[in-house]
A = this chain, B = another copy of it.
């Protein structure tokens, strides 16, 4: 059967398997989901605040973020998403987007009609459970971000963001050992951590100087994982990964 499953559908299935069990029947139906594929260049919006989409989207390639704009043009990035993520499951239940979804790098995105999702959920409640689980893990990550931005110093915040990205990418097999690509400008890193560009720059320098991380362009390597976790006060449990997927 496997050879009949497209690479793109396989990504979706792999994502769901990373958080729970997926039966063969479920896999078979998931593989039939219609995917309308579109390409986005970096910095292009995929869905906008205020939109009322009738499709969910699945990231197939590239880096995507959710963000909000607040008064005076300030931007806050709410979450980061990689290949396999379903960043707007909420649109199945909440008609209007309360935030935007934007590409951070060139991205390939699949759109899946809500109707098709709902049909599968009706037929296989277990798929509904997995999607619910995915949405709840999402919420857990938001909570951690509130704590990160609210109660950690710049140094700790950036360390924490790097810990999260490293672990999630490793689980999705996007990271190559301790090395991973993070195509965020320092301004975007600031938007994700509630800091100014200048301060992000100086904080990254500090992390490099302390030999915790190393960077070459958009590529980051963790030089001292123990120390990075310590600095960040990183506790992986909020990611609710299955034991097999956790590092």
Contact = CB atoms under 8 A, between A and B. Distances in A.
A171 B216 CA distance: 52
A154 to B, nearest CB: 12
Greatest chain B CB density within 10 A among A136, A138, A240 is at A136
A140 interface: yes
Interface string A71-87: 10011101000000000
Given A98-B143, A139-B142, 16 more contacts: A68-B144, A70-B151, A71-B152, A71-B233, A76-B151, A90-B140, A93-B136, A94-B137, A98-B140, A98-B240, A99-B143, A135-B135, A135-B136, A138-B139, A142-B142, A146-B149
A237 B75 contact: no
A85 to B, nearest CB: 15
A183 interface: no
Given A90-B139, A136-B93, A139-B135, A238 B98 contact: yes
Interface of A: 66, 68, 70-71, 74-76, 78, 90, 93-94, 96, 98-99, 122, 125, 128-129, 132-133, 135-140, 142-147, 149-152, 156, 193-194, 233, 237-238, 240
Given A128-B128, A233-B71, A94 B150 contact: no
Nearest to A90: B136
Contacts of A66: 143
Contacts of A99: 143
A244 to B, nearest CB: 15
A70 B233 contact: yes
Contacts of A78: 143, 146-147
Contacts of A94: 133, 136-137, 140, 240
Contacts of A125: 122, 125
B135 A146 contact: no
